[in-house]
Chain A
């Protein structure tokens, strides 16, 4: 290779860089949404909102925790109008950091159940998922299962799969269980579940379902929507896997995705309008139909064969703030219990 070639290789990028270094400007009548969700249902929601109102939507997507740090750091200079994130733990954390503004809306208060929104209107649930047990039909009887506590049952020794304890769905579940049972029993449960593991926690929720289907474990702790997605799709055979609703009092733990008006929103009115739109019948059916999540407005009718087959369930009415505020305690319990 000639030196001139290497020099060209070093210098050429400067030209390209100069040619494409411009940033888009956001105009005043654009709605800026920061979201840690990236689902087809949400893209359809943004599109439907633009169609209904003529307002353009700019979306920034990032993982939940990164999103919070980012909004915090940006301060006043580059604010979102709406913040959407998954899980009550993250909603609580974002709220603790002062990222949400208080909003009052009769529409929202009417349509979103009280346990699925912030008491002062800092955020409102827009969709939910249930944390359920799945089991192998040929190796486990539904009557062997009584609730989340079954995972700690000695008869399931070496037969349980779950993902790692750093995962926010597990943390939120344990937070709810601490509220339900108290710290001591919750930690005892976590250690016994960890003792029942068929393998070290690995992969995501779908991988736990696959492991049950493949016979590596018999019971697994997963979110409903992963099961529904796999059952609807053609890539995986989950015909041998069934869902058990851990409805034992006070009910099935539910993960909320929520939206709130950002504290430094440039267009708070538009932001409120967007959240109201997100809980309308038209928008709510997008979540079950495109993402297999449950709508936050129970009365909405939708078309999803798997969710229909799963039927209704009794949800734990525990409020998001209680779940969120116990995140740290829950991770401590997991660490002490030896759940990796």
Chain B
């Protein structure tokens, strides 16, 4: 009996294996991308279902202001984050200075700081009459308005640019730069003409992520008083009870995101830097800095960490010490970890397969992946409403089919939440995977295929080992994003599930920053090891 079952199992396994072997990863990717793009399609449907009353009102009053502010904020934050990210990546790969090794990975940590937490904390430090200003006697410029928001975004999001640029610089080695230098090019010229073009795809991908996240943000912009398009979107819904109008404006944002992605593609252009061989990744020694130069570069590299993480977190820690905690944060911690881990697994699957679609899929498949990536710029609250309406449609179809209440699709389930995360953070999952896969030369596939390997075998034996680092990066980035995510979690979570971000936000929105400090700090504390892991996942390490 047992052997019979075993043999059935074996046969089933073999059959599944056979199907798997014959499957083209690009096909799986297309299916997955289409599935996770459902909420975005639902969003567009929702947008078309409404009338134009709110749009007319907003067009005649504040639409220009909303759009201009959004564009300004995105450009300012993107430029600042790119400068910090590429600059720091350059310092730690090019020079040897005191504390370089530590700084090289510490520089990623500000990614652990949720933007809204940084905004609350910095505002509390710099607002007129703050305790800090009273104690120090300094009159700091208040972190508010559009420049304050750009400051917050750049310092909490630059690690995207830094991480991808640093990995690209390390992967491409310093040899080409050294050759350029030995041929008489100045340091700046070598950077501009050799290094920059090589890391351009990575830096552009990182900056695109920053810009999309800025476009989708509500918390920071609202708190610091920047009237962005997202603020208008949330108001369409909160003040006008008009989800369709919110969806219409969100579609505008989608176009903005597609523009950012398009710009990123154009920036990358046809320059594809597949590795030319082992010699290219050989590292020549970094330029040794000593004395004041070493100290100067070290403090330069320290600055973003201090501004993005240490100062705002230190302020929170100081608040938390002086406050009696209300209630246990343990359930919230469990909830956060559960969602983060589940999403990381899905992100890896999605990232890998979608990267294939982009590499070898047809035009339609590639378009669906691009649409999915643009979902990153959809504000979380709008994404959640879109998912609720997508689920409602699915539910009614299911009900009609089964003739009963099939209560599987309704909102407030972990499944809905995981779906929401993937459609929101697909860009984060796909970009690192894609960047990794780009480096695998197509000739490799052809060679393997010509030797009779199935597409799936090419994936497992050739691609997977080469792109694992990109995949692990994707999984970790999505896990960190999910831990920090707020609006979609609030609306879609099952009521037995609390998360640290939600707990912290509940207190912060009541203007009780001191009570919000503890869950926020724990959130930062678990994001820190996740960001630190990102450092292990790097080429040549």
User: A200 interface residue, CB < 8 Å from B?
Assistant: yes
Whether, in the assembled complex, A52 has its beta carbon less than 8 Å from a beta carbon of chain B, the answer is no
Contact A211–B127 (Cβ < 8 Å): yes
Interface string of B218-234 (1 = CB under 8 A from A): 00001111010001001
Contact of B345 among A5, A14, A63, A211 (CB under 8 A): A14
Distance (whole angstroms) from the CB of A78 to the closest CB of chain B: 6
Interfacial chain B residues near A32, Cβ < 8 Å: 495
The number of residues on chain A lying at the interface, defined by a beta carbon within 8 Å of a beta carbon of chain B, is 69
Interface set, chain B 87-134, CB cutoff 8 A to A: 123, 127-131
| Given contact pairs A66-B490, A78-B410, A211 touches B469 in the complex (Cβ within 8 A) | no
Are A166 and B239 in contact, CB atoms less than 8 angstroms apart? yes
Cα–Cα, bound, A166→B243 (Å): 16
If A39-B510, A74-B412, A331-B239 touch, whether A210 touches B128 (CB-CB below 8 Å) is: yes
For residue B270, CB closer than 8 A to chain A, the reply is no
Q: How far is the CA of A93 from the CA of B326 in the complex (A)?
A: 31
Q: Is the CB of B129 within 8 A of A214?
A: yes
Could you tell me which residues of chain B, from 491 to 541, have a CB within 8 Å of some CB in chain A?
A: 491-492, 494-497, 502, 506-507, 509-511, 514, 533, 536-538, 541
Q: Give complex CA distance A235, B385 in Å.
A: 38
Is the CB of A29 closer than 8 A to any CB of chain B? no
Q: Roughly how many angstroms separate A226 CA and B241 CA in the complex, as a whole number?
A: 27
Are the CB atoms of A215 and B414 closer together than 8 Å? no
**Do the beta carbons of A202 and B496 come within 8 Å of each other?**
no
Contact assessment for B144 and A202 in the assembled complex, using a CB-CB cutoff below 8 Å? yes
A20 at interface (Cβ–Cβ under 8 A)?
yes
A203 proximal to B (CB < 8 A): yes
A191-243 residues with Cβ-Cβ distance < 8 A to B are 199-207, 210-211, 213-216, 226, 235
Minimum CB–CB distance for B538 against chain A, Å: 7
Contacts A66-B491, A335-B61: A207 and B238 contacting too (C-beta < 8 A)? no
- Tell me whether B490 and A77 are in contact (CB under 8 A): no
CB-CB under 8 A from A65, the residues of chain B are 237-238
Interface 0/1 of A46-90, CB less than 8 Å to B: 000000000000111111111001100111111000000000000
Q: A13-B342, A20-B338, A43-B327 in contact; A3/B123 too (CB < 8 A)?
A: no
Is B225 in contact with A202, judged by CB distance below 8 angstroms? yes
Contact status of A203 and B465, CB under 8 A, knowing A38-B510, A63-B490, A211-B128: no
> How many pairs, one residue from A and one from B, have CB atoms within 8 Å of each other in the complex?
178
Contact of A17 among B222, B345, B469 (CB under 8 A): B345
Contacts of B511 in A (CB 8 A): 204-207, 226
The reply to whether the CB of A40 lies closer than 8 angstroms to some CB of chain B is yes
Which one of A58, A93, A327, A340 has the highest number of Cβ atoms from chain B below 10 Å of its Cβ?
A: A340
Whether B506 contacts A16 by the Cβ 8 Å rule is no
* Cα-based distance from A335 to B241 in the complex (angstroms): 16
B437 interfacial contact with A, CB 8 Å: no
> Bound state CA distance, A335 and B65, in angstroms?
11
Does A332 touch B at the CB level, under 8 Å?
yes
- A64 → chain B closest CB, angstroms: 8
Q: With an 8 A cutoff between CB atoms, is B329 at the interface?
A: no
Q: How far is the CA of A164 from the CA of B326 in the complex (A)?
A: 29
Check B241 against A96 for contact (C-beta < 8 Å). Answer: yes
Task: Give the complex CA separation of A63 and B509 in angstroms.
Answer: 9
A17 and B239 contact, Cβ closer than 8 Å, known pairs A70-B412, A335-B61: no
Cβ of A173 to closest chain B Cβ, rounded Å: 13
Residues of B within 8 A of A298 (CB): none
Contact check, B225 vs A201: say whether CB atoms are below 8 A apart: yes
| C-alpha gap A150/B392 in the complex (Å) | 49
B240 within 8 Å of A (CB atoms): yes
Q: Let me know if A126 is at the binding interface, CB within 8 A.
A: no
Give the docked Cα–Cα distance between A199 and B497 (Å). Answer: 40
Query: How near does chain A come to B314, taking the closest CB pair, in angstroms?
Result: 17
A246-275: CB near B (< 8 Å → 1, else 0) gives 000000000000000000000000000000
Q: How far is the CA of A211 from the CA of B129 in the complex (A)?
A: 7
- Inside 8 A of B502's CB, which chain A residues have their CB? 61
Q: Which residue of chain A has the shortest Cβ distance to B348 in the bound complex? A: A10
The answer to whether A21 and B62 touch (CB under 8 A), given A210-B128, A213-B129, is no
Taking each of B223, B234, B241, B392, which has the highest tally of chain A beta carbons within 10 Å of its own beta carbon? B241
Q: Is the CB of A40 within 8 A of B348?
A: no
> Which residues of B are at the interface with A, using a C-beta cutoff of 8 A?
57-58, 61-62, 123, 127-131, 144-145, 222-225, 227, 231, 234-235, 237-241, 243, 322, 326-327, 334, 337-338, 341-342, 344-345, 348, 381, 384-385, 388, 391-392, 405, 407, 410-412, 414, 465, 468-469, 471-472, 475-476, 487, 490-492, 494-497, 502, 506-507, 509-511, 514, 533, 536-538, 541
A-side residues, CB < 8 A to B, are: 1, 3, 5-7, 9-10, 13-14, 16-17, 20-21, 23-24, 32, 34, 38-40, 43, 58-66, 69-70, 73-78, 93, 96, 164, 166, 168, 171, 199-207, 210-211, 213-216, 226, 235, 327-328, 330-332, 335-336, 340
Q: List 23 A-B contacts (CB under 8 A).
A: A1-B538, A6-B468, A9-B475, A10-B348, A40-B326, A58-B495, A59-B495, A63-B490, A73-B392, A73-B410, A76-B405, A93-B241, A166-B231, A171-B239, A202-B225, A203-B144, A203-B223, A210-B128, A211-B128, A213-B129, A328-B241, A331-B235, A340-B227
4 further A-B contacts with Cβ under 8 Å, apart from A9-B475, A38-B510, A210-B128, are A10-B475, A23-B497, A205-B511, A328-B239
